[in-house]
Amino acid sequence: MCPLFHIREYVMKTVGAAKFKQQCLSLLDHLDPEGLVVTKHGKPVARVVPYERGFAPLIGSLKNKIVVNGDLLSTGSAWQANAES
């Protein structure tokens, strides 16, 4: 690995883009929990972090958490389609 780089108060390992391209699979296999920073010409361009498992699925996550008062489909006004103008 290359020198260290500070992001969000964490010290992260850095790797140049060319080296990352050559060793991508190996770097991913040995990825630390804090991840690594990919640099181009010494400037950070990307951060690679492990995927976090355990997020609740979005579908159904708000079930029983929203209360609807009234009729959602009503405009609150009477509408007469056959009325003359």
Instruction: Please give the order of strands across the beta sheet that includes 10-16.
Output: 4-7, 10-16, 36-40, 43-48
d(CA 6, CA 8): 7
Does 6 or 22 have the greater pLDDT score? 22
pLDDT digits over 39-76, tens only?
999 999 999 999 887 766 777 777 888 787 778 787 77
- Find out whether 7 and 29 touch, Cβ atoms under 8 Å: no
pLDDT of res. 26: 96
Q: How large a percentage of the chain has pLDDT more than 70?
A: 82
Q: Answer whether residue 37 shows pLDDT above 50.
A: yes
Indicate the helix (H) or strand (E) that contains 5.
strand 4-7
Q: Which of 27, 37, 30, 28 is nearest to 7 (CA)?
A: 37
pTM: 0.52
Q: Return the domain boundaries, the chain.
A: 4-48
